[in-house]
Amino acid sequence: MYFAARKAHSYGDYGCRAAARGTICLAPAAIRADWLDEYTVNRYRDAFTVDGEVTREQLLNDGVRVTVAKGRSGGGRERLAGPDTSRLTFTIGSRP
């Protein structure tokens, strides 16, 4: 997933950019960047009992991955409340 800034918003999105690579994604997904970042850091803190700042380097070195499954399209009040964590899979493993 790649980060894309949003005009007129203080947040951006992470989204599938298969088309930019010349490939086709059968289940393209996107999620607000601030929601995904917060989810990832919170899960990391829980897994490693870490307090304080968590850096991108720490996440990468520990092989943290979050898979985002495709969600439903459209808006709605419930969708603005926060991420649908049932779409997210958090894993820790060795770095490729």
Q: Which has the closest alpha carbon to 3: 27, 46, 28, 33?
A: 33
Per DSSP, what are the bridge partners of residue 66? 90
Q: What is the pTM of this model?
A: 0.77
CB 82 within 8 A of CB 35: yes
Per-residue pLDDT at 73: 62
The pLDDT-based confidence of 93 (bands split at 50, 70, 90) is: confident
| Category of 50 on φ-ψ map: left (φ > 0), alpha (ψ -120 to 50) or beta | beta
Q: Which has the closest alpha carbon to 36: 76, 72, 69?
A: 69
The pLDDT-based confidence of 28 (bands split at 50, 70, 90) is: confident
Give the chain's length: 96
In this predicted model, what pLDDT tens digit does every residue of 55-79 receive, in sequence order?
999 999 999 999 888 776 656 666 6
CB 37 within 8 A of CB 12: no
Per-residue pLDDT at 39: 92
In this predicted model, what pLDDT tens digit does every residue of 29-45 receive, in sequence order?
888 899 999 999 999 99
d(C-alpha 3, C-alpha 89), whole Å: 19
d(C-alpha 30, C-alpha 15), whole Å: 4
